[in-house]
Amino acid sequence: MTNIDIFSPLRLGPLQLPNRVVMAPMTRNRAGRGNAPGPLNATYYAQRASAGLIISEATQISPQGLGYPGTPGIHSSEQVAGWKGVTDAVHAAGGRMFLQLWHVGRISHPSLQPHGALPVAPSAIAPTGQAMTADGMKPFVTPRALETSEIAGIVEDYRHGARNARAAGFDGVELHGANGYLIDQFLRDGANRRTDRYGGDALNRARFLIEITEAVVGEWGAERVGVRLSPTNPFNDMRDSNPAATFATAVGELNRFGLAYLHVVEPAASDPVPAGEVPDIRFFRKHWRGALIGNKGYDLARANAVIRDGCADLVSFAVLFLANPDLPIRFRRGGPFNPPDRKTFYGGAAAGYTDYPPIGAE
């Protein structure tokens, strides 16, 4: 036990964080024309600049990486300019912000892909469920398995996205390796049945993540790069036969970079763990050498407990931050907390986005 809590400052690489309250990445489907952020997005993020660290919504690195209408990209000059407006607003409000780099892989639909192409994946395995398209929900299709020769090009897309994030004024980047998207599809054996050097054992399945990390670190330096993982999250029809073995291997490989942090979507009680240890926050504390961000339905009491126990260094909050733009202040005062309006989570305009009142204005 320590006397450190969620309000304690923390040095994270070159950044001095005033607290350990992290705004989690949250898809909001409110990008403008050309999937570029605009003034409304700048207002939304600047309202939440009291976070120790803001992690942006997932942001596609290429047109192929798109999986939902209205999500922002980081591959065009218009998108870079739009994000620059966001980071300028956040910095003017005293905040710090990382961009989350994203490729959805099989969680897309031909109607969202360039020239109506099939989505790509490590293996031609269709996920159960439906894709969100401009014409409503449609069944997922069977993706096209990437050729080995194509993978280096996607790694370069991540490098290019990371370089653009620097031009857009971010303080660092986070690799989205969670929640059933492309990196996670390579990691977990339920989605990866490859027989080349990117499939088979856990070390081979982690190769894609490690090559991307190496490329992005080359652009930013390790102290400004984080990685998000979700070892047991079944979202997007994901599974792994032994998540403890898979993610101990992946984390062991990531340790050699000296990254800014590891961000873990922790197991829920209902998550499938067919074999091995449950890879919870204590598991990752044993395996990870650097700063650790916990995530999964935290409230203030539980966040303080996990930090004081030394199991995590920071905690990220999603829905609480969505509905309470001044969340650290509300935590200090013990509330009150705005209730979230779930009908406005995805898509729309200011309603349910920038109109949640600050404390004292409810």
298 is catalytic: no
Inside any domain, residue 193: yes
Q: How many domains are there within the chain?
A: 1
Inside any domain, residue 5: no
Cβ atoms 338, 362 nearer than 8 A: yes
Inside any domain, residue 126: yes
**Tens digits of pLDDT across the chain (362 residues):** 679 999 999 999 999 999 999 999 999 999 999 999 999 999 999 999 999 999 999 999 999 999 999 999 999 999 999 999 999 999 999 999 999 999 999 999 999 999 999 999 999 999 999 999 999 999 999 999 999 999 999 999 999 999 999 999 999 999 999 999 999 999 999 999 999 999 999 999 999 999 999 999 999 999 999 999 999 999 999 999 999 999 999 999 999 999 999 999 999 999 999 999 999 999 999 999 999 999 999 999 999 999 999 999 999 999 999 999 999 999 999 999 999 999 999 999 999 999 999 987 55
Q: What secondary structure letter does DSSP report for 198?
A: T
Model pTM? 0.98
Inside any domain, residue 179: yes
Active-site residue among 181, 261, 298, 353? 181
Of 290, 18, 51, 16, residue with least CA distance to 8: 18
Domain that holds residue 103: 10-344
The half-sphere exposure of 298 on its side-chain side, counting CA atoms within 13 A, is: 31
Inside any domain, residue 294: yes
Inside any domain, residue 357: no
Inside any domain, residue 123: yes
Q: The domain spanning residue 28 has which CATH number?
A: 3.20.20.70
Q: DSSP letters of 201-267?
A: SHHHHTHHHHHHHHHHHHHH-GGGEEEEE-SS--TTT---S-HHHHHHHHHHHHGGG--SEEEEEPP
Query: Which of left, alpha, beta for 136 (phi over 0: left; psi -120 to 50: alpha)?
Result: left
